[in-house]
Homo-oligomer: A and B are copies of this chain.
Amino acid sequence: QMPRGNLETIHPRALVLSAVRKYLDSLEFGQAFVCMRKHRLNLNLIYDHCPQSFLDNVQKFVQQVKLVDYINLFLTDLREEDCTVTMYTAAYNRSAPVVDEGTNRPSKVDKVCEVVRQALVSEDEKKYLLSILTSYVRKSTPELEAALLMVKTLRAMPSDQQTMSAEEVLKYLVFLVDVNEMFDVALGTYDFDLVLMVAEKSQKDPKEYIPFLNKLRKLEGHFQLYTIDEHLKRYSNALGHISKCGPEHFETCKTLIQKHKLYTEALQLFPVSSEEYKSIAKLYGDYLSDKRRHLEAGIIYLNAEEWERALQDFQVCLQWRQVFCMTARLKYSCDTEADIARKLAEQMKMKKQYLDAAHVLEQYAKDTEEAIVCLIDGCLWEEALRMMYKYGRTDFIETHLMEALTENYNQQMETLENCKSEFDKYKKRLAVVREEKEKARLEFLESGGAGNFADADLFSDTSSATGESIQSSRYSSESARSGRSSLYSKSSGSSVKNRRKAEHKRWKLKEGSQFEDFALIAALAKLIKMVDDMRDEMNALLRVLLQFHQYKQAADIQRAYDRLLTQMDRGIPEIWQDSEEGKESQPMLGPMTTANSIAQAVQRGQSLEHSQEKLDPVIRIPPTLRKEVSWKLHVLDSGSSKT
Binding site for B on A (CB under 8 A): 236, 261-262, 264-265, 267-268, 272, 284, 288, 293, 295-296, 299-300, 302-303, 319, 321-322, 324-325, 328-329, 355, 363, 382-383, 385-386, 389-390, 392, 450, 484, 486-488, 490, 492, 494-495, 498-499, 536, 539-540, 543, 546-547, 549, 551-552, 578-579, 582, 585-586, 588-589, 595, 598-599, 601-603, 605-606, 609, 612-613, 617, 620-622, 624, 628-630, 633-636, 638-639, 642-643
Contact = CB atoms under 8 A, between A and B. Distances in A.
Contacts of A382: 319, 321-322, 325, 488
A143 B550 CA distance: 35
Given A547-B303, A549-B272, A639-B264, A606 B585 contact: yes
Given A602-B589, A602-B598, A609-B582, A329 B264 contact: no
Given A595-B595, A601-B602, A299 B547 contact: yes
A386 B363 CA distance: 11
A588 B606 contact: yes
B488 A487 contact: no
B329 A389 contact: yes
18 contacts: A262-B642, A264-B551, A264-B635, A296-B635, A299-B635, A303-B546, A321-B382, A321-B383, A321-B385, A321-B386, A322-B385, A324-B386, A324-B389, A488-B536, A488-B540, A494-B630, A495-B628, A621-B624
Contacts of A264: 551, 635-636, 638-639, 642-643
Contacts of A589: 450, 599, 602-603, 606
Given A536-B488, A551-B264, A328 B617 contact: no
Contact of A586 (B329, B578, B586, B606): B606
A265 B639 contact: yes
Nearest to A323: B386
Contact of A643 (B265, B293, B321, B579): B265
Q: Is the interface of A mostly helix, strand, loop or mixed?
A: helix
A342 to B, nearest CB: 17
Contacts of A296: 546, 633-635
Given A329-B389, A490-B539, 15 more contacts: A264-B636, A268-B552, A284-B635, A288-B635, A303-B549, A322-B385, A328-B392, A578-B613, A585-B609, A589-B602, A589-B603, A598-B598, A598-B599, A598-B602, A601-B602
B293 A390 contact: no
A588 B609 contact: no
A390 B324 contact: yes
Contacts of A630: 490, 492, 494-495
A386 B582 contact: no
A200 to B, nearest CB: 36
Given A299-B543, A363-B390, A486-B487, A551 B601 contact: no
Contacts of A624: 617, 621
Contacts of A386: 321-322, 324-325
A327 to B, nearest CB: 8
A504 to B, nearest CB: 15
Contacts of A543: 295, 299
B609 A579 contact: yes
A84 B449 CA distance: 44
A77 to B, nearest CB: 36
A501 to B, nearest CB: 11
A502 to B, nearest CB: 8
Contacts of A487: 355, 484, 486-487
B486 A546 contact: no
Nearest to A388: B325
A540 to B, nearest CB: 6
A487 to B, nearest CB: 5
